[in-house]
Amino acid sequence: MSKPIIDVCCGGRMFWFDKKNPKVEFCDKRVVSKMMVGKGRNARAFECKPDTVADFKHIPFEDESFHLVVMDPPHLIQAGEKSYMAQKYGILAKDWKTEIHDGFWECMRILKLNGILIFKWNESQITVGEIKKAIGVEPLFGHRSGKISKTHWLCFMKFEVREAQEGK
């Protein structure tokens, strides 16, 4: 039996309660052995060990393979390459709008009809409004979280492909 859930940008699996959940296919384009990132009192251990090494824009699974897709892409466009934030979360390409758009629709491709896509975004450098404009579709609903409410959890559902692409 194949796994019903995929996390396409798993990183260190930080928000997962069960970081080894057998029902989840954990993917990331990076493989990072346990290492210390950051310096001094800000140093933290970090590792990224995906089940499948893949970029979220090119996911190596068939159309309509998963009931639930979790997408928590990098949200930084400016960070030092060796900074703690860049090493832990990654950095978006200069053409981030295309990267986010293409990654979102790749996630929709692998999502089963009537499946759910959970999109996590942090507004530290790019607003949710800019993200919604880049992907071209409105979420069903969302929620802000965190101490200063910069993290957003957005929920999308895959209806008929034509409806999803038209934002209905």
β-strands 151-157, 111-122: how paired?
antiparallel
Give the predicted TM-score (pTM) of the model: 0.88
pLDDT in tens, the chain (168 residues): 589 999 999 998 999 999 999 999 999 998 887 777 667 777 777 788 999 999 999 999 999 999 999 999 999 898 877 777 777 788 888 999 999 999 999 999 999 999 999 999 999 899 999 999 999 999 999 999 877 889 999 999 999 755 545 554
pLDDT in tens, 81-128: 777 777 778 888 899 999 999 999 999 999 999 999 999 999 989 999
Q: What would the two tokens of residue 116 be?
A: 């759910």
